[in-house]
């Protein structure tokens, strides 16, 4: 038996939304609990990915951009 469940958790892992369209009934509370545990784990994984990628981004400071423009003018 297959059914689709959508869970939305916030960054702290708290359930904010649960959606299940028609289809088979989930007969066991444990099925929802299993989905919730998997969703919480995925939140942790995604949070780590986002934190790592944001650390890798280097945002140029305005004075760095001005220096680049000045260097380009001198090269011409």
pLDDT (tens digit per residue) in 31-50: 889 989 999 999 889 888 98
- The label of the residue with tokens 């981004």 reads 57
Tell me whether residue 1 is in a domain: no
Tell me whether residue 61 is in a domain: yes
Q: Provide the total of helices (H) and of strands (E) in the chain, helices listed first.
A: 2, 2
Q: What is the enclosing helix (H) or strand (E) of 67?
A: helix 62-75
In the chain, which ranges are E strands?
A: 6-9, 15-19
Query: What's the number of domains the chain is made of?
Result: 1
Query: Which band of pLDDT confidence, cut at 50, 70 and 90, is reported for residue 21?
Result: confident
Give the C-alpha separation, 13 to 18, whole Å: 13
Segments forming the whole domain that contains residue 31:
6-75
């Amino acid at each position: 038996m297959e059914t689709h469940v959508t869970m939305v958790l916030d960054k702290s892992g708290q359930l904010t939304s649960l959606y299940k369209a028609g289809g088979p009934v989930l007969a066991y509370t444990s099925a929802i609990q299993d989905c919730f545990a998997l969703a919480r784990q995925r939140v942790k994984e995604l949070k780590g990915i986002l934190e790592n990628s944001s650390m890798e981004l280097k945002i140029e400071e305005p004075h760095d951009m001005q220096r680049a423009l000045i260097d380009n003018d001198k090269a011409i």
